[in-house]
Amino acid sequence: MTITDRIPDTPLLDRARSNAGYALNKMAMGLSTPAGRAAFLADEDSYLDRFALSPAQRAAVKARDWAEMVRLGGNLFYILKISAVDPTPIRAIGAAQAGLSLEDFLDQRLGKVTNG
Amino acid sequence: MAELLAGLGTSHVPSIAAALDKGLRDSDEWKPFFDGYIPAQDWVRAHKPDIAVVIFNDHGNSFFLDRIPTLALGVAEEYQPADEGWGPRAVPNFIGASDFAWHLADQMVAGHFDPMICRELDVDHGLQVPMELVFGRPAAWPVKIVPILVNTIQYPIPTPQRMWELGQLLRRAIASYPTDEKIIVMGTGGLSHQLQGARAGYINPDADRAWIAKIGADPARYRAMTREDYIAEFGSEGAELIMWLVMRGCMDDSVRTLHQQYFAPASMTGAGMVLLENMG
């Protein structure tokens, strides 16, 4: 699946992405309850089975491949909930999407600062 | 009639909340940021607003993609902090100014804005963080709130021009509200940031500083910009800045900028604040 960005490298949650990512985002939204988080942590595969993820989306979630999740229609505000059950700093998620090491990401994009 | 006390624009970055929760308020990294709010906090405390109208976006916490209101208005008596994945934060519940909220609902629909009316609503960091930045961490909030939620996540999002017009309507609603309550209007979000895609980590401090300098004195350019302009200049999530236009549109053409600050980056975001007062 390839969705063309109207603004380069800037995936907006428009019709095409919202449709493509609906199940993936719904899966992530399920982690906003204690029961959902407990189910994910107890048996991730069984939890994922509840949602109609494509094989590629499922693989991206299992691999914690943030860039791929976004490419497949995931929206950061939903998939970020995965980082609540499997702790990952937001800037590491940013670096992964930019295709940079965390060090290079902080240096090149954010001016090598450490807040937050 | 009610009084429009001031307009305040501020970022609502969740890392600000995390820093407070972790006790990092006075750390080397964060102290300059938080200290920048002290003059505005002092001003607001001295002027004792009764109601804060807070314009913000839900970040996939209270609304899922099954139903996304372009515009929503809270009329509840009380709001609880949302569970964003880490459990609800230990901040006090927010007391709703439901009388004014229902008045605003009447005025909005009569004025051809048609919000979703919310009686039960958890509020996420988009509202929590501005309240903490302005009022600190009190045992109970010193103001009642009216939340106005704007969809900035799923496209199409509303236009900057529509946000400005909503501000103008809010002004009329305040002017026609028959109490002597004092109201502060808080437009939140931004400044520049992008959290997704290969352009993740984009910030634009020059554009942010210009925004802070001009949103009070010379906002015409920002009112005229397209949504795409906002995304290009401030990043995809930086387009949240359109919500400051509700606050600015609510104010007089001529305003005094009482306080301002800019700090970059807070986490991955340019963070800024202005406090505006009508010239009167």
Domains parsed from chain B with CATH numbers: 3-278 (3.40.830.10)
Element (H, E) at B17: helix B14-21
Q: Alpha carbon of B120 to those of A91, B98, B103, B113, B177: distances in Å?
A: 33, 12, 18, 21, 24
Q: Which of A17-21, A110-114, B220-224 comes out lowest in average pLDDT?
A: A110-114
% of chain B residues with pLDDT over 70: 100
Rounded Cα distance between B173 and B111, Å, is: 10
Domains of chain A: which residue ranges? 15-85, 86-116
Average pLDDT over residues B28-34: 94
Sign of CA dihedral B96, B3, B183, B104: positive
Contact present, B79 and B121 (Cβ < 8 Å): yes
Q: Which of B86, B235, B267 is closest, CB to CB, to A115?
A: B267
Q: What is the DSSP string of B146-157?
A: EEEEE--SBSSP
Tokens linked to A33 = 């309850």
Q: Across all residues in chain B, what is the average pLDDT?
A: 97
Contact present, A79 and A70 (Cβ < 8 Å): yes
Contact present, B172 and B211 (Cβ < 8 Å): no
Q: Across all residues in chain A, what is the average pLDDT?
A: 94
Active site residue B125: yes
pLDDT of residue A1 exceeding 60, the answer is no
* Per-residue confidence (pLDDT) for residue A4, from 0 to 100: 75
Q: Alpha carbon of B54 to those of B184, B244, B257: distances in Å?
A: 9, 10, 19
| Residue-wise burial string across B235-244, b where 16 or more C-beta atoms lie within 10 A, e elsewhere | bbbbbbbbbb
- The residue among B129, B153, B196 with the most chain A CBs within 10 A of its CB, best to mutate, is B196
Contact present, B143 and B184 (Cβ < 8 Å): yes
Q: Which of A13, A78, A105 is closest, CB to CB, to B201?
A: A105
pLDDT band at A6 (very low <50, low <70, confident <90, very high): confident
Give the residue among B225, B228, B58 at the shortest CA–CA distance from B152: B58
pLDDT of residue B111 exceeding 70, the answer is yes
Average pLDDT over residues B9-27: 96
Residues on chain B bordering chain A, Cβ-to-Cβ distance under 8 angstroms = 13, 15-16, 18-19, 29-30, 33, 59-61, 64-66, 82-87, 153-156, 194-203, 228, 231-232, 235-236, 264-268
Rounded Cα distance between A107 and B217, Å, is: 34
Return phi, psi of residue A75, to 5°.
-110, 135
* Per-residue confidence (pLDDT) for residue B163, from 0 to 100: 98
> Which CATH code fits A15-85?
1.10.700.10
Please state the ipTM of this predicted complex: 0.95
B154 contacts on A by Cβ (under 8 Å): 13-14, 18
Q: Which of B12, B103, B125, B259 is catalytic?
A: B125
Write out pLDDT tens, residues B48-65.
999 999 999 999 999 999
Give the residue among B125, B160, B154 at the shortest CA–CA distance from B249: B160
Average pLDDT over residues B19-38: 95
Write out pLDDT tens, residues A47-64.
999 999 999 999 999 999
pLDDT band at A116 (very low <50, low <70, confident <90, very high): low
Per the CB < 8 Å rule, is A7 touching B228?
A: yes
Per the CB < 8 Å rule, is B85 touching A32?
A: yes
* Per-residue confidence (pLDDT) for residue A5, from 0 to 100: 82
A93 contacts on B by Cβ (under 8 Å): 195, 200
